[in-house]
Structure 1
Amino acid sequence: MSGLRARDIGHRVVVRHRIPGGLTDIIGVLASWDPQTLAVRHADGNVHEIAASDITAAKTIPEMPLRPVDVEQLFLTTALGRPAAETAYVGQWLLRASSGWTGRGNSLLPTGGPGMPVAEALKHAEAFYEERGLPPQALVRLGSPEADELRACGWVDARPEQSDVLVMHTTLDHVNAAPEYEVLIAERPGEAWYAAAFDGPVPGHAPTVLEGAPKAVFASIAVDGQTVAVGRGSMTGHWLAVDAIRVAASHRRRGLGTAVVQGLARWSGALGGRRTYLEVLEENTAALATYTRLGYREAYRYRYLTKR
């Protein structure tokens, strides 16, 4: 098969093969491989299985350059990748509540129009959170008109002591190299996954939020029988969200976090994933350096605002 192997699963490939009456090429993502056959997922979603005996040439396609991202689209995509336990809308603005677990799961996402004056929409948001015993909070993209509008209505920085959150993106081709460790991908997280992901008891709504996306998986790496690194991946369209990356303190600086990202990327690539994003605090310099080395670049940054 001209060099293609299992390590190339998740990469874009071109395969020339025999068909009745001649030869044809298929371009797509290598979904599976064994010595007798391979499967290529085309951009239209169809999977083409090709027998090894029919292949005349096959190779990987060089990494795609990192194209500009549609920031507005990505801003909404991040909410779909990890939906809150409870949601409601004010026009197109998304209200999210998850009993206080995580800022993302308990904040207004002002995207699109609220269908009414901003000041009136914010009163609806305040009532929504007050009814649930939560502080009114909004996740705003820095530099956006919505951030300026909320500030003009008296909303202020909810976490002035914390750095900006960077939303970073790249193409899947940049991060789907073969991991140095065996990465287990599961549709549901087990006790070992949760034990590695949290110190102490698991927050009550964490399973609802983490397991609530329509297409999500949970990655883990075990060393000497102990789960020492975990992460979560979810698919929204062609976007792979990577989050909940955590490595045991005793096993850091060994490339385990990188391997988790790569394992999730290879899972996503076989399903038609093309791009990937993640979020990281700017002050988390170690994680930021790792993601930058992998090819992630800043798309935008956000902060949380609250009613003064």
Structure 2
Amino acid sequence: MSGLSARDIGHRVVVRHALGGGQLTDVIGVLQSLDAETLAVRHADSTVHRVRLTDVAAAKPIPPMPLRPVDVDQLFLTTALGRPAAETRYVGQWLLRASAGWTGRGNSLLPAGDPGMPVVDALKHTRAFYEERDLPALALVRLGSAQEEEFRRLGWIEARPDEADVRVMHTTLDLVNGEPAYEVAVTDRPDADWYAAASDAPLPAVAATVMEGAPKSVFASIALDGRTVAVARGAMTGHWVAVDAVRVDPRYRRRGLGTALLQGITRWAGPLGGRRAYLEVVEDNAAAMATYTRLGYDTAYKYRYLTVQ
């Protein structure tokens, strides 16, 4: 066999191989493994094709699948389903979210879809919801959207004017499911070491409800020098896999641990039907932005929080 090597693991390839009786067929997908006797290619439907090297007629790497345009409205809602709040109520199709004040996403209105009433009335319901819980009224709005324009017209203003915009970035799994350079442990539930590595300060009790509340979630970690030094969370919603809560101990940064976590989570998602991945990053986090861009992530939209006096 020619044309493939270990460096192609995690990337798209085409392999022409013999079926028997002189027939040849092609398999296209991500090269999952390669050893002295066999190779394994994971097809787009997550089927793994194992081929003996002696049956391979030709094989070569091919360009990744093009990053198709994203349905922004769908992704906007998907981000909420991938990390549900502790409490959710609806105004029409809008989501009112509360999580005892922990995180902006968990305590803000997501104006996705039709509120089923005039916007001015829906925002009155929004204010009442947060007043009842002694929380500030926040709305997570896509920049440049009709919702942002109308909210501002109705008197909603910047809630965090000193903070940078947040980018929601997306890619295809073909670009980010390569073989991690470190051993990534993936579990259904986080342990105390995971939570300790996820934050310098103790997390509130509601954090476990939020982090573990998605129907299909996973918790990734990397241990070095006898302790957990890098963690991330993944969640599946349809064919989308979310990656969030990425944190690397400052003493271990710039070693590729964040990339390994992304790869570990997306490799978990592929066999479950994952096709595309998304994450959120604050725009002024230059190091993270550079990493995600290098891995093929592109911006779907940006958002900010608005509030009302």
Instruction: Please state if 1:47 is matched with 2:47.
Output: yes
Q: Give unpaired runs (5+ residues) of structure 2.
A: none
The 2-side partners of 1:55 and 1:284 are apart by 45
Distance 1:213-1:56 versus aligned 2 partners, 3 A rule = farther
- TM-superposition CA deviations, 1:117-147 (whole Å, max 9, x none): 0011111111222222211111000000001
Instruction: Please state if 1:157 is matched with 2:158.
Output: yes
Contact 2:217–2:233 (CA<8 Å) still a contact in 1? yes
The 2-side partners of 1:193 and 1:186 are apart by 10
Contact 1:41–1:272 (CA<8 Å) still a contact in 2? no
The 2-side partners of 1:291 and 1:132 are apart by 36
Distance 1:197-1:143 versus aligned 2 partners, 3 A rule = same
**How much has 1:26 moved relative to structure 2?**
3.9
Instruction: Please state if 1:213 is matched with 2:214.
Output: yes
Contact 2:86–2:99 (CA<8 Å) still a contact in 1? yes
The aligned counterpart of 1:197 is 198
TM-score norm. by structure 1 comes to 0.88
- TM-superposition CA deviations, 1:245-294 (whole Å, max 9, x none): 11111112222112212222222234332221111111222222222222
The 1-side partners of 2:91 and 2:183 are apart by 45
Q: Which moved more, 1:185-194 or 1:23-32?
A: 23-32
The 1-side partners of 2:35 and 2:82 are apart by 32
The 2-side partners of 1:305 and 1:219 are apart by 32
The aligned counterpart of 2:99 is 98
TM-score norm. by structure 2 comes to 0.88
Q: Which moved more, 1:203-212 or 1:137-146?
A: 203-212
Instruction: After TM superposition, list the pairs within 5 Å mapping 1:107-146 onto structure 2.
Output: 107-146=108-147
Distance 1:6-1:194 versus aligned 2 partners, 3 A rule = farther
Distance 1:4-1:269 versus aligned 2 partners, 3 A rule = farther
Contact 2:13–2:61 (CA<8 Å) still a contact in 1? yes
Instruction: After TM superposition, list the pairs within 5 Å mapping 1:64-103 onto structure 2.
Output: 64-103=65-104
Distance 1:161-1:8 versus aligned 2 partners, 3 A rule = same
The 1-side partners of 2:220 and 2:6 are apart by 19
Contact 1:42–1:48 (CA<8 Å) still a contact in 2? yes
The 2-side partners of 1:33 and 1:90 are apart by 52
Secondary structure in structure 2 of the residue aligned to 1:80? helix
The 1-side partners of 2:297 and 2:223 are apart by 26
**How much has 1:207 moved relative to structure 2?**
1.2
The 2-side partners of 1:49 and 1:66 are apart by 24
Contact 2:231–2:248 (CA<8 Å) still a contact in 1? yes
The 1-side partners of 2:28 and 2:286 are apart by 38
Contact 2:98–2:108 (CA<8 Å) still a contact in 1? yes
**Where has structure 1 moved over 6 Å in runs of 4 or more?**
1-9, 31-39
Secondary structure in structure 1 of the residue aligned to 2:181? coil
Contact 2:46–2:272 (CA<8 Å) still a contact in 1? no
Contact 1:185–1:218 (CA<8 Å) still a contact in 2? yes
Contact 2:109–2:138 (CA<8 Å) still a contact in 1? yes
Q: Give unpaired runs (5+ residues) of structure 1.
A: none
Secondary structure in structure 2 of the residue aligned to 1:233? strand
How many residues are aligned here? 307
The aligned counterpart of 1:304 is 305
The 2-side partners of 1:47 and 1:177 are apart by 17
Distance 1:102-1:25 versus aligned 2 partners, 3 A rule = same
Partner AA of 1:210 in structure 2: M
Please report the RMSD computed on the Cα atoms of aligned residues, expressed in angstroms: 2.6
Instruction: After TM superposition, list the pairs within 5 Å mapping 1:159-178 onto structure 2.
Output: 159-178=160-179
Amino-acid identity (%): 70
Partner AA of 1:136 in structure 2: A
Partner AA of 2:217 in structure 1: A
Partner AA of 2:161 in structure 1: P
Contact 2:11–2:175 (CA<8 Å) still a contact in 1? no
Contact 1:230–1:245 (CA<8 Å) still a contact in 2? yes
Secondary structure in structure 2 of the residue aligned to 1:68? coil
The aligned counterpart of 2:229 is 228
Q: Which moved more, 1:223-232 or 1:70-79?
A: 70-79
Partner AA of 2:291 in structure 1: T
Q: Which moved more, 1:255-264 or 1:31-40?
A: 31-40
